Structure 1
Amino acid sequence: ADVALVIPAEVDVFDEPDIIAAEPSPSVAPRKRSVLGSIFFGAFGVLVSLALGLWTAQLIRDLFARAEWLGWLAAGMAAIALLALLVILIRESLAIARLAEVEKLQKRAFDAIVRDDPKAARA
């Protein structure tokens, strides 16, 4: 059973007067995003998705032509992959919804602190 020994430092950095009196650095506004960049990446993403879909469809057709069981195996794997993607998207959507609820709760707590309302803080 080791016992931790806490020894206070000789200089407390949080008691330094220049840190207390220092002005916070000015906040910098975030750069505005380019609309053209959003359009480009959106269109490129759709194009890549279409290419992957066509490639998968061609692969499944080729596998059916080679051997029927290979085609069914590939179709099943594609269905499993699509189902997994759907589950991932649903989970992420639910997580974003939970984050929105936490943000609302934080906003209500901050309002209760600002108004100094203990009843609202308990709710």
Structure 2
Amino acid sequence: MANVAYDFEIVKATLTEGDKNRFVALFLNCQPNTIDWKKAADEFGSASAESMKVSTKNIMTKIEKAGGKIGTSATATPVKTTGGRKRKATGDGDGHDAEETPKAKKGRGRPKKAAAEQAA
């Protein structure tokens, strides 16, 4: 088809649902760089050609998320991950191992000044 202009309102009123579906199929299989975005925005009643592009992109994203894009499936909702888990006890499972040595007590570090003066 050559670059021919049609009256949007007349075409919309004339076409059946099947005809419109056929045009949707054609649109989904063409390159967007051949679309007259300004004319399409004016006839549709969009604010600007840029808003028409954004709306079209959003519609295509909606179709893709619904699984309408060939070669992809619908995006699954993300699954929440659980928090960290404690390590499982090694050994016989009772939590107390006979070979386990008790931990040495840690010192308090530097003694307080008052206690050091009394000792001297």
With structure 2 as the length reference, what TM-score do the two structures score? 0.26
Higher relative contact order at CA 8 Å, sep ≥6: structure 1 or structure 2? 2
Name which one, 1 or 2, has greater alpha-carbon Rg. Answer: 2
TM-score, with normalisation over the residues of structure 1?
0.26
Richer in helix (by share): 1
